[in-house]
Structure 1
């Protein structure tokens, strides 16, 4: 099972096709991966652009502190045709309400804000303030875990080293199984031994 975002779904499909072709030609060696895609809708950028991107500066990072996250929320793009709080606004396609739908678990509050927004009875500031509160509540658990891991000195380095060593073992075993299925295991062993012998310094005679 491979959890990826929509942008990387095509890569998983290419991997599936390669695994199927290899297995068809040489026998079952590679598991055919299944795609696990999040049902969460793609979030637009805080500037209203179609995609949130760190390089565009329109993203809220999971590592943002509460004040920084609130600052970004308060600067979010909303309904450009709404010049005053008493002007009926558009909820559909409005980035602030898209974020509310994803991060605000208080559905009654969200429905109330949407209703009043459409009627011109609530300002953008209140809508954004409540979004900032909901978003920071969502991020607080991640901030706590991040702080806990940062406080455990050496933990991340240890995980990287252990993960790398485990990956190397998995790769070596997988390559052995692939070569064996293709009838190349013996050939590869011969080539490796020949290469090792060629790298050894020649014996010197007195």
Structure 2
């Protein structure tokens, strides 16, 4: 590996171990074996390197989800079955990748003061929505049209974002797939709040 790759690997390691806010340039240098000047040379700034490390780590989570679902026979079932499988797998893999999601939450809180970070998240959103539709529908991302990505993808992104926050605060209160499916059915059926039958 060259210095650029070493820096990225070191930044990802620091991000997962120390989080977004507590990682310093010196931490990255120590983790990567590179020198301080190489951060500026290869990435322009520590912040730019951290952005790349965060999105690379999030990509690792997405790849893990895709591999997991590809190995699961239930992905070939109906849409409700695929949703249940996808949500269950997402919850399981959140636990495995919780450091990534903690770092992402920290980073999201910085977008007000970091326009480049905001832009990076904004650029990643369409691809993320498209990937979530593909995940929950068991199709290739290239099959997801713009309208579907905008509507269903936004819905799934909202669910996943809420799951991340709830898992970070109190994992025991995070709804499982069956609870979410029951809630969606009640909304679509127009069932008023109160005990269900």
- Shorter-chain TM-score category? under 0.3
Mark the structure with the bigger radius of gyration: 1
Relative to the length of structure 1, the TM-score reads: 0.23
Higher relative contact order, chain-length normalized (CA < 8 Å, sep 6+): 2
* Structure with the larger helix share: 2
Relative to the length of structure 2, the TM-score reads: 0.24
